[in-house]
Structures are given as C-alpha cells and as structure tokens.
Structure 1
Amino acid sequence: MIEIKKTTTKTYKVRQIVRNFCKFDEEFRRIR
C-alpha cells in the first residue's frame, strides 16, 4: 500500500512539472 502511494505521488509530481514546463513553453512562444 505504501509503495503504491509513493509511486502515485512521484507520478503526480512529474505530471505537475511537465504541465508547468508546457505552460512556460506556451508563454515563451507567445512572447517571441
């Protein structure tokens, strides 16, 4: 149970990072 939760948290963090990166990329393209 604990291991599954750890993996889920890790995946969630990675997803957030990816989402933030995509947002940043969009903003950057708009500026250029």
Structure 2
Amino acid sequence: MTTSIREQKTNENIRKSQRCTVLDPVQILAS
C-alpha cells in the first residue's frame, strides 16, 4: 500500500514538473 501511494505521489510530481503552467487549479486540488 505504501509503495503504491509513493509511486502515485512521484507520478503526480512528474506531471506537475512537466506542466509548470497551472491550467486547471481545480484539477490539482481534486488530485
């Protein structure tokens, strides 16, 4: 469980890094 959560967080960080521009703050908050 912990590993999957960690992987998800890393994936989210990678996505945020790729998308430096905040297009939809609502989506980020929802995530």
Unaligned runs of 5+ in 2: 22-31
Divergent runs of 4+, >2 A? none
Larger Rg: 1
Unaligned runs of 5+ in 1: 1-9
Percent pairwise identity: 14
Question: Normalized against structure 1, the TM-score is what?
Answer: 0.62
Question: Normalized against structure 2, the TM-score is what?
Answer: 0.64
Aligned residues: 21
